A and B are shown apart, each in its own frame.
Chain A
Amino acid sequence: MAASSERSPPPFPESEEQELEHDLEEDEEDSEEGADIFTGGTLSDSAMDPPLPVSSSEPPKDIFSEPPADTFKDPLNKTSAEKAASGGLSKAQAAVPVKVAADEELDDLFSDSLGESGAAPVTDAKIAPLLDLGEEPQKSDVIKKGAGKDDASTEVLSAPQNDVIKKDIFEEPPKGAAKDLPTDIKDGNAAGKKPASTDLFGDDDDEDLFKEPLGAMTKKPQGSLFTEAKSEAKAARPEQSNSAAADLFTEEAFTVTPVVAAAKSSVNTSSKTNGLHSDEEDLFAEATVELSLDSPHNDRRKREAAKPSAPAPSLSASASTSKPQPKTLEELEEEEKEDTFDLNISVTNPEKVGDGMNAYMAYKVSTQTSLSMFRSKQFTVRRRFSDFLGLYEKLSEKHAQNGYIVPPPPEKSILGMTKVKVGKEDPSSAEFVERRRAALERYLHRVVSHPSLLQDPDVREFLEKEELPRAVSTQALSGAGFLKMINKATDAVSKMTIKMNESDVWFEEKLQEVESEDQQLRKLHAMVESLVNHRKELSVNTAMFAKSVAMLGSSEDNTALSRALSQLAEVEDRIEQLHQDQASNDFFIFAELLADYIRLLGAVRACFDQRMKAWQRWQDAQNMLQKKRETEAKLLWANKPDKLQQAKDEIVEWEAKVSQYEREFERVSATVRKEVIRFEKEKSRDFKKQIIRYLESLLQSQQQLIKYWEAFLPEAKAIA
């Protein structure tokens, strides 16, 4: 497999043109074949079912070495457009999925800023019809706008498209899919996604794709139409949310034909670098027939093939039902759960390294995974606390601005750490270390369970690489720390000055909700902490009482009473242990959960802030544009043609910027929305799981208590 370091550099197209050509060729082929594929899709899939285990390691490398990312971007635009067209032509149903696919791909492309002027218009045109088919007029409008903008500035085009597409994806796919798309293909896709999902997660490019699909997925369940479909769909997919994302792709692939698949594969290529599934490769064999060509193509095909293979059974089922896609929330949850099982990270063996104030704690981070993006199934690295902080810094630098909720690591605790450094082996520092260890573990779990963050090369590096460069900027008292503080302060000030007139009620309500929840959680946390303290106190006092009763028993001169008292002392002793255990359960299960979520809510607020910032940028740009227009008018009035041209240029430039910022704002908004929905789902799952666990611990305590007192009762009765 390719080393992680290789992947990390942003993949850029060295041979864009070549690839483009390929794509075009493929596209043509695809469009022609697309119809065929539709009809015969199920058959081919079934044939593919037996996944041929191809050596996964080699293909990825090849792909990797070549510029996979590039290929993706450019080709995707075209391919998607073409696909859409083909899909639309062939079947209205197909159109919707196609769009989705196209959107995702486009996003990727956009982010890279690889926009091909030619490609953009095409896509728009195609999409519009598709939308109509989808029966949702709003969307079509949106799209048109996007198109208009595109015309204005070709460069910008790519960006607007993304936005538009995203919207579509969110709103339409659920409904449209449910209505129009009840094709077998979808089912097949869904099924295929399972294996694919993991693969998809590869590079940065992939991230975008994932997010959107996820959002789409979540929304779908809401659609009334979907409800019907759900039942059927359930049978088909036991996959993960990620896979869901993949589904969209796969769908396109099927509907659109191999071309689409190619597009997907391009996307996948990145993922391939991570690690391709053997299944895909097998499938590929079949797919290849149609698409011969570059290694990237091959990969794509493989993927396509792979996806279909898995779904084969589901496909048949879907064929009968016709609506495979819509997944219920539960399904999504299940999928997500399975997802996390694929990657099992544990933080263990905290060890003190060094002496005195330079000492630090190192933790063993072991990963067990079946994800092919990692080099092996099991590996272990040693990391120190600041490495975890460093990881967070890197992730938040990259992702926070896009509106992602980057899980925050546990806080630095100078006091606690100093104790550990100075103190020898006292129980409070042992508790501190354990607490931190557990917190770090949960932190990593949160990071990797985020589909986009998992794709980040830094995450992989963190988990896999033997030696990490020392994270410098994490020290609280360092210069970097100081700078960070200043930045935060200025941020806070600017936040206060921004007066955002919220146009979207959803965001307004959510923000309010988050804030009040934050408040309540803090309160709750303080109370649980106080419960922990009181329980500890109770445990200590019970121990003392037990001793005291034992003494009383020894001085009692009635034998039976004396024995009963010493029995009571024993019971109290055990109860003391019980209280102690319960106190640590209070803390580790309940209090820490709350502490985590207080931190996470901070991150959620931060992503709302990012959205606000994006909005502010957009507003500023608009104001600027306004000013430029005014100057133009003045110049016109003054009749100064020499400067007029310059002013016009500037207006054009600012118009472009305005629309770019607007799109950015919309993109961030969409991401925030998705992230918040995802966060809420995670939260409710986490809370349910943890609180049930907590209640179970309480239950056990009570059971023990009953046992102890039951044993004591006859002793008390025996006093004569």
Chain B
Amino acid sequence: MMQEGLDDGPDFLSEEDRGPRAVNVDLQTDATLQVDISDALSERDKVKFTVHTKSTLPNFKQNEFSVVRQHEEFIWLHDSFVENEEYAGFIIPPAPPRPDFDASREKLQKLGEGEGSMTKEEFTKMKQELEAEYLAIFKKTVAMHEVFLCRVAAHPVLRKDLNFHVFLEYNQDLSVRGKNKKEKLEDFFKNVVKSADGVIVAGVKDVDDFFEHEKTFLLEYHNRVKDASAKSDRMIRSHKSAADDINRIASTLYTLGTQDSTDMCKFFLKVSELFEKTRKIEARVAADEDLKLADLLKYYLRESQAAKDLLYRRGRALVDYENANKALDKARAKNKDVLQAETTQQVCCQKFEKISESAKQELIDFKTRRVAAFRKNLVELAELELKHAKGNLQLLQSCLAVLKGDT
């Protein structure tokens, strides 16, 4: 039961494992557009996601359809949102992280090489372990991609985006490619400029208290959530190593038990069995912490970054607006190009106001979403921890009863 998710092979999207969706608590569940990832296929260096859509919206030809998409296409969709000026006032749902199976694959490979140096039981055990690990990463990846789509589908404006519809409906390769080196370099420079600019923009005192507050909050929040996320990762990693140790202890105890000729053999075997079980629970605890805690933090790390980006865009617009004002004043003073300056000022003003307006709502939504997501995850985390601890306790109790009965 507890093991389900990890052990049963291809059905990695079983009920419980949809958990990561919890990260994404969209407030309005709308039956008019429902998106999920119904299947995923891991190939050598890419993962193919089957995106399944159910919709009653008129711009889709059918009510229900599926397409196959790759990670790059998700990124393309995300970037198209970011680049669209129209969406400057929104928190763009953060793009899912790149699937990274390298570490896990490498381990599997190493295991294959070291096959000769260990006993058969050890090998099978290790292999199972690694496969479980691989599967867990795989499921996480799928979940993150799904979360992205759900967020978009739930957004009142973004859900109507044409690119999004194409992404969902067009049943052939979108032939987006990964960025080449030049583009990556450009991106890098853009980022440098942006962050330098961000510092300037951040220095500008905001006239609006709400945004001023949000700005300081998000800055701090982002840093802390980043820290917490890193720490939770480390914690979970050491938890996993501890669980692995217990696993190995269990198998050594087993060997000891099979070797022993005295009455100790039963004892060793029993303890080995216990460790084997507690190890599963411990591993499960670590996995659940990963799912409920680390993933939550990671998601809000990205989402708070997206919110920061929004504030940056607004700040940028504000600065532009102020500059336009200044330019208009100058132009008026010189009585030159006044009209042009006026138009620019008008545009900047409109843009700023539009951003401000939607940004305010977006930030309020962000907070509501965040609180709800944390609540859900923390409650689930606590419940799972309790469940596992109780399971563990029971195991220990029954084992102790048996052992004490024996002696």
Interface residues of A (CB under 8 A from B): 509, 513, 516-517, 520-521, 523-524, 527-528, 530-531, 534-535, 537-538, 541-542, 544-545, 547-549, 551-552, 555-558, 560-561, 564-565, 568, 680, 683-684, 687-688, 691-692, 695-696, 698-699, 702-703, 705-706, 709-710, 712-713, 716-717, 719-720
The answer to whether A541 and B256 have CB atoms under 8 Å apart is no
A-B contact count (CB 8 A): 161
In the complex with contacts A538-B239, A561-B375, A548-B252 CB distance below 8 A: no
With CB as the reference atom, state the residue of chain B lying closest to A689: B407
| B379-391 vs A, Cβ < 8 Å mask (1 yes, 0 no) | 1011101100110
CB closest chain-A residue, reference B294: A545
Whether the Cβ atoms of B407 and A552 lie closer than 8 Å is no
**Interface contact A531-B367, CB-CB below 8 Å:** no
Identify which of B97-105, B221-229, B307-315 touches chain A.
Answer: B221-229
Residues of A within 8 A of B259 (CB): 513, 516-517, 520
Docked Cα-Cα span, A660 to B299, in Å, equals: 83
**In the assembled complex, which residues on chain A have CB atoms less than 8 Å from the CB atom of B399?**
695
Cross-chain contact of A692 among B246, B263, B385, B400 (Cβ < 8 A): B400
Q: Is B192 part of the binding interface, using a Cβ–Cβ cutoff of 8 Å? A: no
Instruction: Chain A residues near B252: list those with CB within 8 A.
Output: 520, 523-524, 527
Whether A695 pairs with B374 at a CB distance below 8 angstroms is: no
B residues engaging A (CB < 8 A)? 217, 220-221, 224-225, 227-228, 231-232, 234-235, 237-239, 241-242, 245-246, 248-249, 252-253, 255-256, 259-264, 267, 271, 274, 278, 367, 370-371, 374-375, 378-379, 381-383, 385-386, 389-390, 392-393, 396-397, 399-400, 403-404, 406-407
B217, B274, B389, B406: which contacts A706 (Cβ < 8 A)? Answer: B389
Q: How far is the CA of A4 from the CA of B271 in the complex (A)?
A: 46
Residue numbers in A under 8 Å from B220 (CB-CB): 555
Contact of A703 among B245, B261, B263, B393 (CB under 8 A): B393
Q: Which residues of B contact A683 (CB under 8 A)?
A: 264
With a cutoff of 8 Å between Cβ atoms, the chain A residues found around residue B407 in the complex are 688, 692
A549 to B229, alpha carbons, bound, how many Å?
A: 9
Cβ–Cβ contact A534 & B224, under 8 A:
no
Which chain B residues border A696 with CB–CB below 8 Å?
400
Inter-chain contact A561/B371, CB cutoff 8 Å: yes
Q: Are A687 and B389 in contact (CB under 8 A)?
A: no
Provide the bound-state CA to CA distance between A558 and B389, in Å.
30
User: Could you list 27 examples of A-B contacts with CB < 8 Å?
Assistant: A524-B256, A534-B242, A535-B238, A537-B238, A537-B241, A538-B235, A541-B234, A545-B235, A552-B224, A555-B217, A557-B217, A558-B370, A684-B263, A688-B264, A691-B271, A691-B403, A692-B404, A692-B407, A698-B278, A698-B392, A699-B397, A699-B400, A702-B389, A709-B382, A717-B379, A719-B371, A719-B378
Separation of A713 and B403 alpha carbons in the complex (Å): 34
Asked if B231 and A555 sit within 8 Å, CB to CB, the answer is: no
Contact B386–A709 (Cβ < 8 Å)? yes
List 13 additional A-B contacts (Cβ < 8 Å) besides A695-B274, A709-B385. Answer: A509-B261, A527-B248, A538-B239, A538-B241, A544-B231, A557-B367, A683-B264, A691-B271, A698-B278, A702-B389, A713-B379, A716-B375, A716-B382
| CA A698 to CA B396, docked complex, whole Å | 8
Partner of A688, one of B248, B267, B370, B392: B267
List the B side residues contacting A691 at CB < 8 Å: 267, 271, 403
Question: Chain B contact residues: over half helix, strand or loop, or mixed?
Answer: helix
| Nearest chain B residue, comparing its CB with the CB of A555 | B220
Contact call B393/A555, Cβ cutoff below 8 A: no
SS class of chain A's interface: helix, strand, loop or mixed?
helix
User: In the complex, are the beta carbons of B267 and A524 less than 8 A apart?
Assistant: no
Bound Cα distance A716, B221 (Å): 20
Given contacts A527-B249, A684-B263, A710-B386, contact A695 B225 (CB under 8 A): no
In the complex, residue of chain B having the shortest beta-carbon distance to the beta carbon of A510:
B261
The answer to whether B245 touches A544, judged by C-beta atoms less than 8 angstroms apart, is no
Given contacts A561-B375, A710-B386, contact A549 B228 (CB under 8 A): yes
Chain A residues with Cβ below 8 Å from B256 are 517, 520-521, 524
Residues of B with C-beta under 8 A to A538: 235, 238-239, 241-242
Residue of A nearest to B270 (CB): A691
- A535 neighbours in B (Cβ, 8 Å): 238, 242
A699 close to B396 (CB less than 8 A): yes
Q: Cβ of B396 and Cβ of A531 under 8 Å apart?
A: no
**Contact status of A695 and B400, CB under 8 A, knowing A517-B256, A530-B245, A534-B242:** yes
Contacts of B382 in A (CB 8 A): 709, 712-713, 716
Write out the residue numbers on chain B whose beta carbons fall within 8 Å of the beta carbon of A568: 378
A545 to B232 CA separation, bound complex (whole angstroms): 6
Contact between A687 and B264, CB atoms less than 8 A apart: yes
Within the assembled complex, what's the spacing in Å between the Cα atoms of A342 and B76?
80
Sort A-B residue pairs by CB-CB distance and give the 9 closest, nearest first: A531-B245, A719-B375, A716-B378, A538-B238, A545-B231, A541-B235, A548-B228, A534-B242, A537-B238
Contacts of A712 on B, CB cut-off 8 Å?
382
Chain B residues, CB < 8 A from A687? 264, 267
Contacts of A560 in B (CB 8 A): 371
B400 in contact with A531 (CB, 8 Å): no
Q: Is the CB of B228 within 8 A of A552?
A: yes
Bound CA–CA A683/B264 (angstroms):
9
Please give, as numbers and ranges, the residues of chain B lying within 8 Å of A713 by CB-CB distance. 379, 382-383, 386
